[in-house]
Structure 1
């Protein structure tokens, strides 16, 4: 029985998410290292083709400030999006990466100019070192490239359960600000029939896989 077909009779949304996370992690881990590498390369090619089309990411012409990309550092079986970060460094696009604070259950963004600005912290994830410059105004983020375990065609996202990204996006909602353009890089096998969405979960603006680009209009 696949992720899409498994029934959820008598499960609440929290239980459904727990079950989906277990299945989604196993499914993504079923890809060999070679498959993940080749598919990640295809996904990054698509992301880079889309880079200039994303809101606020133009670096030439009448650009009045440096565009800002908020990206994650991949771990384990996630899509390796680091080539996108490297391309942004070459194009003078500011790159900010989250540093997590589990005690407060939130994240803050810091500018990363090279791999030397990163260190391995909790869960083996590379995060900005303390000396890097913090992004104080999150409204400067033009595009957020976010991780996730599974996604659906209604632009729903299944995260890892920590709520860090949901709380970050809620800052925009509470302040009445427009959110950045939110992009997800995913393998085709991460697209499922339906992601159960809670009140504070956010939706994606664009999903890029190795074979297609998914948006609300598509």
Structure 2
């Protein structure tokens, strides 16, 4: 376990360095390429209920994806991370519209998420479940192994999805090509991703 943790930490450091070297223009350019790939993806086209992460500065931008999803009449859910007491609990709460995002409070990670007193929003698993989850992460390999930030939010959430009558949603990771690795070290608790979208050479 300790060796695996150390390997993950070393890889996180290396990927962070690679992504930090990208200019904002390059991140925006690759984000556009990845978004276009997603828009023509049959799983995205056929999905009605999707979970989309609100991107941090070192992640593929998702604003255009949310705009497209709302434009196509999809139901969108975004993460709410509960970080008190080292919790790794995350809910996927419904977003009413694109404008709705601007009403959400900013977290210490500088991303928006519903506030703690926001009890009006539907949680995806309390209703119809999810068809598709767009996954963030620090690193990925081509076999669908994912290196997260070490908190296990998505792994835990996907376990909850598996217990839902609808079953596990399809998972697509969105990545800059600098986030691709030869091999991501994983253990049996790390959940495998169905597909990683990135700009091919």
Mark yes or no: TM-score above 0.5: yes
Aligned-residue offset at 1:167? 0.9
Structure 1 residue runs of 5 or longer lacking an equivalent are: 1-10, 60-66, 213-218
Q: TM-score, normalised by structure 1?
A: 0.81
Partner SS state of residue 46, structure 2: coil
Change (3 A) 1:177 1:141: closer
Alignment of 1:1-218 (within 5 A): 12-50=3-41, 53-54=42-43, 57-58=45-46, 67-103=48-84, 104-112=87-95, 113-117=97-101, 118-129=104-115, 130=118, 132-137=120-125, 140-173=129-162, 178-211=167-200
Name which one, 1 or 2, has greater alpha-carbon Rg: 1
Aligned-residue offset at 1:135? 1.7
8 A Cα contact 1:109 1:135, kept in partner: yes
Partner SS state of residue 121, structure 1: coil
Partner SS state of residue 107, structure 1: strand
Separation (CA, whole Å) in 2 of partners of 1:24 and 1:132 = 38
Superposition RMSD in Å: 2.2
Structure 2 residue runs of 5 or longer lacking an equivalent are: none
Aligned-residue offset at 1:163? 1.0
Q: TM-score, normalised by structure 2?
A: 0.87
Separation (CA, whole Å) in 2 of partners of 1:43 and 1:58 = 18
8 A Cα contact 1:110 1:132, kept in partner: no
